[in-house]
Structure 1
Amino acid sequence: MGIPSDNLVHVKSRALSEETPLLRETSPSECEEDIVGPEPSSAELFLVISSVYFGIFLGALDGTIIATLSASISTHFSSLTLLSWLVSAYLIANAASQPLLGRLTDIFTRQKGLIACNILFAIGNLVSGLATSEGMMIFGRVIAGLGGGGLMAIPNFIASDLVPLRKRGLIHGISNICFSTGAGLGSFLGGWINDVWGWRWAFLIQVPLTMISCIMVYLTVKIPAKKSSLSALARVDFLGAATLIVSIVLLLFGLNSAGNILPWNHPFIPISIALSLIILMVFIYVEIYIASEPIIPIKLLAIRTVASACLTTWFSTMVMYMVLFYLPIFFQVKGLSATSSGIRIMPQFFGSTFTSVGCGIIINATGQYKRLLVIILSLFFVTTGFLTTLSLDGNEWFIYIYEFILGATFSSLLTITLIATISAVSHDHRAVVTSAVYAFRSTGATIGVTIGSAVYQNVLLSGLHERFDGIPGSATEIEKIRNSLDEMFNLPPGWDVGVKAAFDVALRSVFRVAFLCAILAIVTGLFIRQHVLHARLVRHDVNE
C-alpha cells in the first residue's frame, strides 16, 4: 500500500535551465534556505525506508556471496585469474552507473530509477547463474553491477530527500545495519548453498528476492521528479561516464595481466596503463570544460572536505575489499570448506551492525563528526596493521577480533564521510556528491581487489617457482595450483609445506598492501573539516 500523495513530502527544487550554473558564487555569509515542507510521519518514513533499504540488503548479500564463492567459481572454470574479474566486472559497472543516477533519477523519479536497477540486478544474476563460460559469467556480473549500483546509491538519495541532514547519520546507520545483515547472511548463505546445491543457485535465488524489492518500491516510493522536462537528459554527463570507465578498464587490464597473464616487460602493460592515464586526463577535461552537469564535478572536488572525504572513502574501501576477498581464500587454504570460510568472515558484519546506529546517534545528538572520525580512523589503521601479522599456522581467534573491529570502523567511516560530504555542499548538489562518493567506493573496491589480485598472483607464482623449479613436471603442477584451490588437496608428495608457505607469503603481502592503503586513508581523513549539520529539512549554499 503506497503512501497517500497528500501526505507525502514533496521535495521542491529549482528547475535547472540551460543557463543555470552548477555552482553559484556565494560569499561565506550568504545563505539560501528553502523550507522543503513537513517531514513525513514516522509510519510513512518507515514504509519508504524499509522498501528501499531492502535493495541495500540484496546488494550486500550478493557482494559477500561472491566473496565467499569467488574461489569456487574460479576453480569451476579452471581459472583463479577469473577471481578478480568476478568482482571487477560488477564494480566497474557500479562505477559506470552510480555517478549518473543522481541526475537520471532527478529526471525520471527515484521510483522508476530504483525499479529499473532492480530489474537489471535480477537479469544479471540470472545470466550468472546460468553461465556456461567465463565470458557469460562476466557479462552477467556487468549487468548485475549496473543495477546493483542503483540498489546501493538511490536509497541514499531518497534519504536526503526525506530526512534532515542532522538525522542522516542515524538513517545511514540503519542502512549500514541492512548492509551488514545482508553481507553477514551472504557470507554464510553463499558457502552453504555452494556445498549443498552448487554455486549457481547462489545467483538464482536472488532473482525472486529482487522481484519482491521491485514490488515494494513501486508501492511505497512516490517522490516526484525534480525536473519535469526530458530536455534535461541532454545535460547528463554520458561522455564523462564513458571516459571514466574506459580509463578504469584499461588500468585493470594492465594490472590484472602484469606478471599473471603476461610478463611485466610485455609492451601491453605500460601501454594500457599509459592509455588509462591519458583517458583519465580526457575525463578531467570533459568534467571541467564540456559537461553541463559533470558526474564528478571537479569544482565540488575543489572543496577540501568533499575531496578529503571521497579519498578517505576510496582508500578505506580498497582496504576492506582486499580483506573481504582474501580472508576467505586464507581460510580455504587452511583446509576449510566454503561454508566454514563464509562463517568465519561474519565478525566483520557483526561489528558493522553494532556500530552503525551508534555512530549515527552520536552525530545526531552532538551535531559533530570530526573528533569521532579521528578516533575511528585510528582504530581502522591499527587493526589493518594487525592483519599483516596473520599466518596460516597462527591462532585463529585473533582474526575474529580484527574482523569485528575492522567492520565496525569501516561502517562508521562510510557514515561519517558521507555526512561530511553532503554537509559541505548545497542541497541541489547533494545527489551529485552522493553519486560521487559511491563512484569512489566502487572504483576503490575495484582497484583494491585488482591490486590485491596482482600482488597475490605474482607473489604466489614467484614463491612456487622459487621452491619447486627444477622438479620434473613442476611447471604443470604450479599452473594447476594457481588455477584451482582444490589442487591443494592433491599435491605431489613433499609439496605440502612449500605450497602452504608460498600461499602464506602471498596472502600476507596482500594484507601489507591493504595496510599501506589504510595509512593513506588516515592521512586524507585528517583534512576533513567539521560543517554545520542542520536539524531541519533546509537547503543551504555553503562554501569553504
Structure 2
Amino acid sequence: MARRGRMDSVSSRANEETPLLQEVLPEPIDDGAVQQQRAAQDAEVQQEEVMIAQEAKGSKLVIILASCYLGVFLGALDSTIIATLSAPISDSFNSFTLVSWIATSYLIANAALQPLSGKLTDIFGRRAGLVLSNVLFFAGNLICGLAKKQWVMILGRVVAGMGGGGLMSISTFVASDLVPLRKRGLIQGIGNICYGTGAGLGGVYGGWINDAKGWRLAFLIQLPLIAVSAMLVATTVKIPVKEKELSRIRRIDFPGAITLVLSLVLLLLGLNSGGNTVPWSHPLVLACVPLSIAFLVLFIIIEARVASEPIIPVHLLLDRTVASACLTNWFITMATFIFLYYVPIYFQVLGYSTTQAGLKIIPQSVGASIGSLGAGLIMRATGRYYALNVFIEGLLLASAIIIAALFNRNMQEMPTYIALLLGGLGYGGMLTVTLLALIAAVEHKHQAVITSASYAFRSTGSTIGITVASAVFQNVLKRELWERFRDDPMARDIIARLRDSIEEIHKLPPQYYDGAIDSYMLALRAVWYTSLGLVVVGITLSLGMREHTLHTNLARK
C-alpha cells in the first residue's frame, strides 16, 4: 500500500507535458524531518530520470512518425538544395567564395544547436522542440528567399539551420521514445528514407526551380509545407514533461551550452575563413581556432565537474562503442558531404546545367534510402550489427576509390552512377548501424542525450568536411590557374573571374578553355583524395564498436 501511495503521488504530478520516457522514482521516505524531505525532493527534481513509455503501435505510431518525418524530409531537402544553387546564388552576388559560406552557415547552426536538443527536449518536451524548430526553419527560408545582400542570405541560412537541425534530431528522439531497439533500426531506416529522399531531391529541385523561375523561389515555395509540418507536430506529438516552468529553467546547463556553442562556432568560423575569404595567417583565423579549443576545454571541465545535469555527460563519450560510433559518423559524414557538394560542381565544370548536375546525385540518395532500410531489416531479423558494419564500410571504401581514380575530364557516366550508388548504400547503412550501436551501449535514460551528441558529430562533420574541401579546392585551383596563366597580361583578371564563377569557364576565349578545365579537374582531384583519406579513417574507427544486445521491448529486459 505504501508503494501504491508513492506511485499515485508521482502520477498526480504528471500532466500533458510529462516526457513519455521518464523513469518514475519513488518519493523519499518521510522520516519526519521537513527540511530533509524538501532537500530530497529537490534532489529528485535535479536527478530525475526518463520514464519508459508504452510502445506505440499501429496507426498511432504511423501518424506520429509521419508528422515528424515530414520535417525530416524538408530539413534534408534544404540541406542539399545549395548543392546546385550555390553557383547561381554566388553569381547573383558576384562572389564564388560565397559558396562555402552559404553551405557552412546552415551547417554551423546545425552543429551548434543539435548537442543541446537532447537535454532541452528532455526538459521542455519533444513537441515544444519540434514546433520551435519549424518556426525557425520557416523564418530562415523566408529570409533567404527575400535576401538582397550577402550577409542577409547568410543570416537566413543560419536561422534555417537552427530549425532544420532540430527537426531531424528531435524526430529521432521521438522514435526512440516509442519503439524498442530491435525494431528501432527498421523505423530509423524509414526515417532515413525520408531524409535520403529529401537530400536527393534537394539538388534536382533546386536546379529545376533555378532554371525555371530563379533560385529565390526554391526557398519561398517551401514555406507552406513547413507551416503544415508545424501544425501536424503540434497536434500529434504529445510527449509531456514533469516540471513546472521554474524547475525546468533551473535544470538547463547554461554554462555548458554557451561554451559548447562558442567552441563550435569559433572553430567553424576560423576554418571556413582561412584560405577562402582571408589568408590562413589572418588574425581572424589565428584568434578563432585557439579560442575554440579553449572553450572546448572549458566545456569539458564544466560537464565533468560542475554541471548537475550536463548537456553531454563526458563519461558517456568515453565508452568504446559510443566513441567509435560518433567518430565514424564524423569522418564518413565529412567525406559524404564533400561528394554531395562537389560532384554537382564537377558536372557543372563539364558544361552540364544545374538541373542536370543535380540529377547526377540521385543514385546517392536512392542508395542511402535502400542501405538504411536494408540495415534496419537485417538488424531486426538478426539482432546483431557488427558484421553488417564491416560490409557497409567496404561499400564506402569502394565508392571513394572509384571517385578518386576515375572522376576526371573524360569520365564515362556508368562508373559515376555505380560510385554514387555504392556510396549511398554505405552511408545510409552506416547511419542506422551507428545509431543503434550507440543507443544500445547506454542506459535508456541517456538515449536522447547521446543521440543528440551523435547528431552533433554528424552535423559538425558535414560542416568541417565542406570547409576543408573548400580550402583544398580554392588553394589548388588558385595554384593551378597561376601556373597556366601567369605569363598572360590579363592573368589576374582571368583567375579572379574563374575563381568566382564556374560559368566563366564557358565564356573564355578558346585559348584559355583547356587550361581552365584542367585546373578545375586537378582541384577536384585533390578534393576526391581528401575524401578518400577521411573514409579510410572512418572505416578504421568503426571497427572499435562492440556488439550489444538489441532488446525487443522498451524496458530492455
Global fold match (TM > 0.5): yes
8 Å contact kept, 2:20–2:240: yes
Tell me if 1:337 matches 2:347. Answer: no
Which residue, out of 90, 98, 116, partners 1:82?
A: 98
What secondary structure, in the 3-state scheme, does the structure 1 residue paired with 2:81 have? helix
What secondary structure, in the 3-state scheme, does the structure 2 residue paired with 1:67 have? helix
8 Å contact kept, 2:372–2:430: no
Residue identity opposite 1:99 in structure 2:
P
Structure 1 equivalent of residue 78 of structure 2: 62
Which residue, out of 46, 65, 89, partners 2:62?
A: 46
Per the TM alignment, residue 23 of structure 1 is displaced from its structure 2 partner at its CA by 9.7
List per-residue Cα deviations over 1:164-208 (Å, max 9, x = no partner): 111100000000111111122222111000000000000001111
The CA RMSD over aligned residues, in Å, is 2.3
List per-residue Cα deviations over 1:376-434 (Å, max 9, x = no partner): 11221222122112102221221111001101110110001110011011111001001
Structure 1 equivalent of residue 23 of structure 2: 13
C-alpha spacing 1:264/1:92, structure 2 compared with 1 (3 Å) = closer
8 Å contact kept, 1:107–1:230: no
Separation in structure 2 between the aligned mates of residue 281 and residue 338 of structure 1, nearest angstrom: 43
Structure 2 equivalent of residue 432 of structure 1: 449
Which residue, out of 341, 344, 352, partners 1:325?
A: 341
Separation in structure 1 between the aligned mates of residue 270 and residue 128 of structure 2, nearest angstrom: 37
Structure 1 equivalent of residue 35 of structure 2: none
Tell me if 1:160 matches 2:176. Answer: yes
Tell me if 1:465 matches 2:475. Answer: no
8 Å contact kept, 2:321–2:544: yes
Who wins on radius of gyration, i.e. which is larger? Answer: 2
Tell me if 1:194 matches 2:243. Answer: no
Tell me if 1:525 matches 2:512. Answer: no
Per the TM alignment, residue 20 of structure 1 is displaced from its structure 2 partner at its CA by 6.2
List per-residue Cα deviations over 1:70-90 (Å, max 9, x = no partner): 122112111121111112111
Separation in structure 2 between the aligned mates of residue 227 and residue 427 of structure 1, nearest angstrom: 20
Per the TM alignment, residue 296 of structure 1 is displaced from its structure 2 partner at its CA by 2.5
Per the TM alignment, residue 10 of structure 1 is displaced from its structure 2 partner at its CA by 4.7
What secondary structure, in the 3-state scheme, does the structure 1 residue paired with 2:511 have? coil
Separation in structure 2 between the aligned mates of residue 198 and residue 81 of structure 1, nearest angstrom: 20
What secondary structure, in the 3-state scheme, does the structure 2 residue paired with 1:132 have? coil
8 Å contact kept, 1:35–1:537: no
Deviates more, 1:282-291 or 1:499-508: 282-291
C-alpha spacing 1:268/1:137, structure 2 compared with 1 (3 Å) = closer
Tell me if 1:135 matches 2:134. Answer: no
Separation in structure 2 between the aligned mates of residue 489 and residue 519 of structure 1, nearest angstrom: 36
User: What aligned pairs does 1:248-327 form with structure 2 within 5 A after superposition?
Assistant: 248-327=264-343
8 Å contact kept, 1:66–1:190: yes
Structure 1 equivalent of residue 10 of structure 2: none
List per-residue Cα deviations over 1:320-362 (Å, max 9, x = no partner): 1100100110010010111001111111011112222211011
Deviates more, 1:261-270 or 1:455-464: 261-270
Aligned identity (percent) is 49
In the superposition, the TM-score normalised over structure 2's length comes to: 0.90
Structure 2 equivalent of residue 27 of structure 1: none
In the superposition, the TM-score normalised over structure 1's length comes to: 0.92
C-alpha spacing 1:434/1:20, structure 2 compared with 1 (3 Å) = farther
Tell me if 1:405 matches 2:422. Answer: yes
8 Å contact kept, 1:9–1:38: no
Which residue, out of 127, 138, 143, partners 1:122?
A: 138
Residue identity opposite 1:356 in structure 2:
S
Per the TM alignment, residue 225 of structure 1 is displaced from its structure 2 partner at its CA by 1.9
C-alpha spacing 1:181/1:264, structure 2 compared with 1 (3 Å) = closer
Structure 1 equivalent of residue 460 of structure 2: 443
Residue identity opposite 1:403 in structure 2:
L
What secondary structure, in the 3-state scheme, does the structure 1 residue paired with 2:295 have? helix
Separation in structure 2 between the aligned mates of residue 151 and residue 194 of structure 1, nearest angstrom: 25
8 Å contact kept, 2:54–2:178: no
List per-residue Cα deviations over 1:93-145 (Å, max 9, x = no partner): 11222111122222222112101110110100000010111100010011111
User: What aligned pairs does 1:92-103 form with structure 2 within 5 A after superposition?
Assistant: 92-103=108-119
User: What aligned pairs does 1:107-256 form with structure 2 within 5 A after superposition?
Assistant: 107-228=123-244, 230-256=246-272
What secondary structure, in the 3-state scheme, does the structure 2 residue paired with 1:178 have? helix
Residue identity opposite 2:450 in structure 1:
V
Deviates more, 1:305-314 or 1:89-98: 89-98
Residue identity opposite 1:224 in structure 2:
P
Deviates more, 1:171-180 or 1:241-250: 241-250
User: What aligned pairs does 1:413-424 form with structure 2 within 5 A after superposition?
Assistant: 413-424=430-441
Per the TM alignment, residue 226 of structure 1 is displaced from its structure 2 partner at its CA by 5.0
List per-residue Cα deviations over 1:36-63 (Å, max 9, x = no partner): 3542231111111111111111111111
C-alpha spacing 1:320/1:238, structure 2 compared with 1 (3 Å) = farther
Separation in structure 2 between the aligned mates of residue 271 and residue 112 of structure 1, nearest angstrom: 37
Structure 2 equivalent of residue 29 of structure 1: none
8 Å contact kept, 1:237–1:291: yes
Residue identity opposite 2:122 in structure 1:
D
User: What aligned pairs does 1:17-32 form with structure 2 within 5 A after superposition?
Assistant: 19=43
8 Å contact kept, 2:137–2:161: yes
Per the TM alignment, residue 508 of structure 1 is displaced from its structure 2 partner at its CA by 1.0
Separation in structure 2 between the aligned mates of residue 199 and residue 94 of structure 1, nearest angstrom: 22
Structure 1 equivalent of residue 412 of structure 2: 395
8 Å contact kept, 2:276–2:470: no
C-alpha spacing 1:374/1:96, structure 2 compared with 1 (3 Å) = same
Structure 1 unaligned regions, length at least 5: 25-31
Residue identity opposite 2:23 in structure 1:
S
Separation in structure 2 between the aligned mates of residue 496 and residue 455 of structure 1, nearest angstrom: 22
Separation in structure 2 between the aligned mates of residue 365 and residue 20 of structure 1, nearest angstrom: 39
8 Å contact kept, 1:319–1:515: yes
8 Å contact kept, 1:107–1:228: no
8 Å contact kept, 1:11–1:224: no
Per the TM alignment, residue 229 of structure 1 is displaced from its structure 2 partner at its CA by 5.1
8 Å contact kept, 1:9–1:39: no
Structure 2 equivalent of residue 28 of structure 1: none
Deviates more, 1:235-244 or 1:194-203: 235-244
Structure 1 equivalent of residue 402 of structure 2: 386
Per the TM alignment, residue 291 of structure 1 is displaced from its structure 2 partner at its CA by 2.4
8 Å contact kept, 1:240–1:291: yes
Separation in structure 1 between the aligned mates of residue 156 and residue 121 of structure 2, nearest angstrom: 24
Residue identity opposite 2:335 in structure 1:
V
